[in-house]
Amino acid sequence: GENVEQHPSTLSVQEGDSAVIKCTYSDSASNYFPWYKQELGKGPQLIIDIRSNVGEKKDQRIAVTLNKTAKHFSLHITETQPEDSAVYFCAAKDFGNEKLTFGTGTRLTIIP
């Protein structure tokens, strides 16, 4: 089955700087890679996703890059703000599979 590793587990960034979170996956059949943001006591919120036929996707301050050959994908947050502080999860799945496999999460703290 799929295995997703996520690094780092914690990340502190000065407000205004960029944050990068990296994930690797094991199943070459995986072709859908979403990122979720989870605030304390709430459910995960989809913030961006990417399919395997695309190498990069951007939405305002958030971008995701995918390297299929190396089987890794990354989340980039630029111009970080205090409200970006949360736990971020990457995930992966095969289009024909219903289940998402989640990474272990990254606790991002933005220092004012």
For binding to other proteins (CB under 8 A), which residues are involved?
A: 32, 34, 36, 41-46, 49, 89, 95-96, 98-100, 102-105, 107
Q: State which residue, 2 or 84, has the beta carbon closest to other proteins.
A: 2
CB of 68 to other proteins, least distance (A): 17
Tokens 């990296």 appear where? 22
By the 8 A CB rule, do 11 and 110 touch?
Answer: no
Q: State which residue, 43 or 112, has the beta carbon closest to other proteins.
A: 43
Q: Which of 32, 26, 11 is CA-nearest to residue 91?
A: 32
E strand or H helix at 74, and its extent?
A: strand 72-77
CB of 16 to other proteins, least distance (A): 27
Q: State which residue, 86 or 103, has the beta carbon closest to other proteins.
A: 103
Decide the pairing of beta strands 106-111 and 10-14: parallel
